Structure 1
Amino acid sequence: MTVDQIPQAAGLPLIGAMLDFRRDPLNTYLRAQREHGDVVRFTVGPPGLRQDFYAVFSAEGAQQVLARSVGFRKDDVFYEEIRATFGNGLLTSQDSDYVRQRRLIQPLFTRRKVDRYAQAMCEETLATVGEWRGRDGTVIDVLDEVTLLTQRVVTRVLFGAASEEAAEVVGRNFPLLGEYMLRRGFSPVPLPRWLPTPANRRAAAARQELYDVCDRIIAERGRDGSGQGDLLNLLLQAGDGADDRLTPDEIRDQVLVFFLAGHETTATSMMFALYLLANHPAEQARAREEADRVLGDRLPTAADFDQLAYIHMVMKEAMRLYPPSPGISRRATADTAIDGHVIPAGKIVLLSPWVTQRHPRYWPDPERFDPLRFTPEREVARPRYAWFPFGGGPRACIGQHFSMLEAVLAIAVLLRHYEFEPVDTDLKLTQKLALRSVGPVRCRIVAR
Structure 2
Amino acid sequence: MAITETPVPGPAGLPLLGSMLDLRSDSLATYLRAHRAYGDVVRLTAGPPGLRVQLYGVFSAEGAQHVLATESANFRKDNTFYQEIRESFGNGLLTSQDDDYLRQRRLVQPLFTRRRVDGYAGAVTAEVAAMTRKWRTAPGDTVDVVDEMTRLTLRAVARVLFGVDVDEAVGVVERCFPVIGAYVMRRGYSPLNVPREWPTPGNRRAAAATDELYAVCDRIVEERRARGADATGEDLLTLLAQAGSDEDGSLDASEIRDQVLVFLLAGHETTATSLAFALHLLARHPEQQERARAEAARVLAGRTPSAADLEALPYLTMVLKETMRLYPAGPVIGRRAVDATVIDGHAIPAGANVIVAPWVTHRHPRYWDDPERFDPERFTPAREQERPRYAWFPFGGGPRACIGRHFSMLESVLALAMIVQEYEVTAVDRTVPVSAGITLRATGPARCALRPR
TM norm structure 1: 0.98
Deviations 1:271-296 (A, max 9, x none): 11001000000000000001111111
The answer to whether the Cα contact below 8 Å between 1:74 and 1:92 also exists between their aligned partners in 2 is: yes
Which letter does structure 2 place at the counterpart of 1:45?
G
The answer to whether the Cα contact below 8 Å between 1:158 and 1:230 also exists between their aligned partners in 2 is: yes
Q: State the Cα distance separating 1:264 from its structure 2 match.
A: 0.5
Query: Is 1:350 matched with 2:355?
Result: yes
Segment of structure 1 superposing worse, 211-220 or 235-244: 235-244
Q: State the Cα distance separating 1:2 from its structure 2 match.
A: 4.8
Query: Is 1:12 matched with 2:14?
Result: yes
Question: Aligned equivalents of 2:5 and 2:148: distance in 1?
Answer: 47
- Which 5+ residue runs of structure 2 have no aligned equivalent? none
Question: Aligned equivalents of 1:208 and 1:283: distance in 2?
Answer: 45
The answer to whether the Cα contact below 8 Å between 1:114 and 1:402 also exists between their aligned partners in 2 is: yes
Which letter does structure 2 place at the counterpart of 1:347?
A
Indicate the residue corresponding to 1:416 in structure 2. 421
Aligned residues: 448
Query: Is 1:117 matched with 2:123?
Result: no
Indicate the residue corresponding to 2:54 in structure 1. 52
Query: Is 1:212 matched with 2:215?
Result: yes
Query: Is 1:82 matched with 2:82?
Result: no
Indicate the residue corresponding to 1:94 in structure 2. 97
Segment of structure 1 superposing worse, 45-54 or 423-432: 423-432
Pick from 366, 377, 385 the counterpart of residue 361 of structure 1: 366
Question: Aligned equivalents of 1:292 and 1:10: distance in 2?
Answer: 55
Question: Aligned equivalents of 1:104 and 1:382: distance in 2?
Answer: 34
Q: State the Cα distance separating 1:427 from its structure 2 match.
A: 2.2
Question: Aligned equivalents of 2:231 and 2:171: distance in 1?
Answer: 21
Question: Aligned equivalents of 1:183 and 1:227: distance in 2?
Answer: 42
Query: Is 1:395 matched with 2:400?
Result: yes
Question: Aligned equivalents of 1:98 and 1:140: distance in 2?
Answer: 40
Query: Is 1:335 matched with 2:337?
Result: no
Indicate the residue corresponding to 1:34 in structure 2. 36
Question: Aligned equivalents of 1:169 and 1:79: distance in 2?
Answer: 23
Does the residue aligned with 1:119 lie in a helix, a strand or coil?
helix
Which letter does structure 1 place at the counterpart of 2:80?
V
Deviations 1:354-403 (A, max 9, x none): 11000000001111100010000000110000000100000000011111
Q: State the Cα distance separating 1:242 from its structure 2 match.
A: 10
Structure 2 CA distance for partners of 1:275 and 1:227, relative to 1, 3 Å:
farther
Question: Aligned equivalents of 2:379 and 2:33: distance in 1?
Answer: 26
Query: Is 1:186 matched with 2:189?
Result: yes
Does the residue aligned with 2:435 lie in a helix, a strand or coil?
strand
Which letter does structure 1 place at the counterpart of 2:264?
F
Does the residue aligned with 1:350 lie in a helix, a strand or coil?
strand
Question: Aligned equivalents of 2:130 and 2:297: distance in 1?
Answer: 19
User: Which aligned segments of 4 or more residues in structure 1 are displaced greater than 6 angstroms?
Assistant: none
Indicate the residue corresponding to 1:256 in structure 2. 261
Q: State the Cα distance separating 1:438 from its structure 2 match.
A: 1.8
Question: Aligned equivalents of 2:232 and 2:86: distance in 1?
Answer: 28
Correspondence 1:406-445 to 2 at 5 A? 406-445=411-450
Question: Aligned equivalents of 1:16 and 1:4: distance in 2?
Answer: 21
The answer to whether the Cα contact below 8 Å between 1:160 and 1:227 also exists between their aligned partners in 2 is: no
The answer to whether the Cα contact below 8 Å between 2:4 and 2:342 also exists between their aligned partners in 1 is: no
The answer to whether the Cα contact below 8 Å between 1:159 and 1:227 also exists between their aligned partners in 2 is: no
CA RMSD of aligned residues (A): 1.3
Query: Is 1:71 matched with 2:61?
Result: no
Indicate the residue corresponding to 1:198 in structure 2. 201
TM norm structure 2: 0.97
Does the residue aligned with 2:431 lie in a helix, a strand or coil?
coil
Pick from 291, 298, 301 the counterpart of residue 303 of structure 2: 298
The answer to whether the Cα contact below 8 Å between 1:221 and 1:227 also exists between their aligned partners in 2 is: no
Which letter does structure 2 place at the counterpart of 1:34?
R
Correspondence 1:98-247 to 2 at 5 A? 98-135=101-138, 138-224=141-227, 225-226=230-231, 228-241=233-246, 244-247=249-252
The answer to whether the Cα contact below 8 Å between 1:273 and 1:318 also exists between their aligned partners in 2 is: yes
Q: State the Cα distance separating 1:428 from its structure 2 match.
A: 1.9
Indicate the residue corresponding to 2:289 in structure 1. 284
> How many percent of aligned residue pairs carry the same amino acid?
62
The answer to whether the Cα contact below 8 Å between 2:117 and 2:407 also exists between their aligned partners in 1 is: yes
The answer to whether the Cα contact below 8 Å between 1:136 and 1:446 also exists between their aligned partners in 2 is: no
Which letter does structure 1 place at the counterpart of 2:331?
P
Which letter does structure 2 place at the counterpart of 1:386?
A
Does the residue aligned with 2:399 lie in a helix, a strand or coil?
helix
Structure 2 CA distance for partners of 1:3 and 1:173, relative to 1, 3 Å:
farther
Deviations 1:395-429 (A, max 9, x none): 00001111111011000001111110011112222
Which letter does structure 2 place at the counterpart of 1:444?
A
The answer to whether the Cα contact below 8 Å between 1:59 and 1:385 also exists between their aligned partners in 2 is: yes
Q: State the Cα distance separating 1:349 from its structure 2 match.
A: 0.7
Question: Aligned equivalents of 1:222 and 1:237: distance in 2?
Answer: 8
The answer to whether the Cα contact below 8 Å between 1:59 and 1:386 also exists between their aligned partners in 2 is: yes
Q: State the Cα distance separating 1:297 from its structure 2 match.
A: 2.2
Question: Aligned equivalents of 2:375 and 2:232: distance in 1?
Answer: 42
Q: State the Cα distance separating 1:124 from its structure 2 match.
A: 0.5
- Which 5+ residue runs of structure 1 have no aligned equivalent? none
Which letter does structure 2 place at the counterpart of 1:162?
D
Indicate the residue corresponding to 2:387 in structure 1. 382
Question: Aligned equivalents of 1:117 and 1:65: distance in 2?
Answer: 33
Question: Aligned equivalents of 2:54 and 2:431: distance in 1?
Answer: 34
Does the residue aligned with 2:73 lie in a helix, a strand or coil?
coil
Q: State the Cα distance separating 1:107 from its structure 2 match.
A: 1.3
Structure 2 CA distance for partners of 1:158 and 1:11, relative to 1, 3 Å:
same
